[in-house]
């Protein structure tokens, strides 16, 4: 086949394969009873190498989800999954693209290694994306043990504890881990069609878009980082000189940034992040021989879910921000929410 079959036709046998792998208890129990861990490793390796890459990806997702849930329940820190956002998509992209390439060359089994230029390009782009996001998250202290996204605390304090525990299982742990895998499903299409599809203009278009949005996100994150760093320096200096009246000017008087890319969008980093993953999705269209039939294909499920999630995240973020900063509502009325647009009036300028 030159293209991926329909979702129902293709995924149904994979789910059957997944069930067989996960519920093959007799084999696992026998190995554990004999404590033959060498055989256990061989069995796990065979299950990984000779199953469809989507099957093993789903199993990995379940493992990560259980780990996140256990860790967040024990520590009561619900940002455990946040630390995986820049890591899991890179892992799953390489997992899909290189599937079949780990088999022994002596066994002449490299024929299933569907590796081509498109796959390598996609892997490299995703790795650069992941490295940048990891760096940005790390410099904000995201990987410190005690660090937790302020939004979890906001939600936790406003709903019943039992509802939040269910939310932790379903949304924070399970849904987000599967989302991080689903976002990379276009790379599965790239792997599947590697032997029948060469580079084309769609790849060029997707690559340029990916890099463009990545640069935009870097600029937005750096502008936000510089602003927040300087803001807290000014606050610290004001606290040291309690007898003097601290004077904050421009955006520092508001408490939030409204200049640079934030002059055209209230969340340019969110917009660019969504753009990156829609660019990623275009690679699945490039991999198909029939482009018209594949403009909309089932591998967009992750990208579509990410886009919806950003709408919810943006609403929650702005709800909290409006409570903190009185002038944010005026900024919200003057500036586009996500898509960059013509800027409104500069609210930092005082009327004479």
At 309-348, the pLDDT tens digits run: 999 999 999 999 999 999 999 999 999 999 999 998 888 8
Q: How many CB atoms lie within 10 A of CB 8?
A: 8
- Where does the pLDDT of residue 70 fall: very low under 50, low under 70, confident under 90, or very high at 90 and above? very high
- Where does the pLDDT of residue 167 fall: very low under 50, low under 70, confident under 90, or very high at 90 and above? very high
Residue 233 confidence (pLDDT) above 70: yes
In eight-state DSSP terms, residue 351 is P
Contact, 265 vs 257, CB < 8 A? no
pLDDT for the residue numbered 115:
78
pLDDT for the residue numbered 107:
43
Contact, 78 vs 156, CB < 8 A? yes
> Residue 65 is encoded by which pair of tokens?
């989800």
Over its C-alpha atoms, the chain yields an Rg (Å, rounded) of: 24
pLDDT for the residue numbered 99:
86
> Under 8 Å CB-to-CB from 274, ≥6 apart: which residues?
306, 307, 310, 338
pLDDT for the residue numbered 111:
46
The distance from CA 230 to its chain's CA centroid, rounded to whole angstroms, is 28
How far apart are the C-alpha atoms of 79 and 148, rounded to whole Å?
Answer: 5
Residue 108 confidence (pLDDT) above 80: no
pLDDT for the residue numbered 269:
97
The winner for highest mean pLDDT among 9-23, 186-200, 240-254 is: 186-200
How far apart are the C-alpha atoms of 226 and 1, rounded to whole Å?
Answer: 51
> Residue 75 is encoded by which pair of tokens?
């520590």
Encode pLDDT of 31-53 as tens digits.
566 665 565 565 566 666 667 78
Residue 105 confidence (pLDDT) above 60: no
């Amino acid at each position: 086949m030159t293209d991926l079959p329909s979702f129902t036709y293709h995924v149904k046998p994979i789910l059957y394969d997944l069930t067989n792998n996960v519920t093959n208890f007799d084999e696992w129990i026998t190995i554990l009873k004999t404590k033959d861990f060498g055989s256990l490793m061989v069995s796990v390796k065979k299950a990984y190498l000779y199953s469809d890459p989507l099957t093993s990806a789903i199993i990995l997702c379940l493992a990560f989800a259980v780990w996140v849930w256990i860790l967040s329940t024990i520590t009561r820190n619900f940002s455990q999954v946040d630390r995986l956002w820049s890591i899991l998509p890179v892992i799953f992209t390489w997992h899909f693209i290189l599937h079949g390439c780990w088999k022994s060359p002596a066994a002449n089994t490299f024929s299933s290694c569907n590796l081509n230029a498109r796959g390598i390009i996609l892997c490299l782009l995703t790795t650069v994306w992941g490295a940048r996001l990891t760096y940005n998250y790390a410099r904000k202290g995201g990987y410190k043990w005690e660090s937790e996204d302020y939004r979890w605390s906001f939600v936790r304090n406003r709903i019943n504890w039992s509802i939040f525990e269910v939310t932790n299982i379903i949304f924070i742990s399970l849904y987000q881990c599967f989302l991080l895998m689903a976002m990379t499903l276009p790379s599965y299409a790239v792997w599947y069609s590697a032997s029948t599809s060469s580079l084309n203009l769609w790849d060029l278009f997707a690559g340029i878009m990916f890099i463009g949005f990545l640069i935009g996100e870097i600029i937005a994150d750096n502008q936000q980082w510089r602003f927040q760093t300087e803001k807290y320096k000014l606050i610290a200096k004001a606290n040291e000189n309690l007898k003097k009246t601290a004077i904050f000017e421009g955006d520092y008087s508001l408490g939030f940034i409204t200049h640079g890319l934030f002059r055209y969008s209230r969340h340019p980093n969110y917009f660019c992040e969504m753009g990156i993953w829609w660019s990623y999705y275009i690679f699945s269209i490039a991999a198909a021989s029939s482009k018209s039939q594949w403009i909309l294909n089932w591998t967009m499920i992750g990208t579509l879910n990410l886009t919806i999630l950003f709408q919810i995240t943006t609403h929650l973020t702005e709800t909290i921000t409006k409570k903190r900063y009185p002038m944010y509502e005026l900024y919200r009325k003057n500036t586009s929410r996500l898509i960059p647009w013509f800027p409104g009036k500069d609210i930092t300028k005082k009327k004479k």
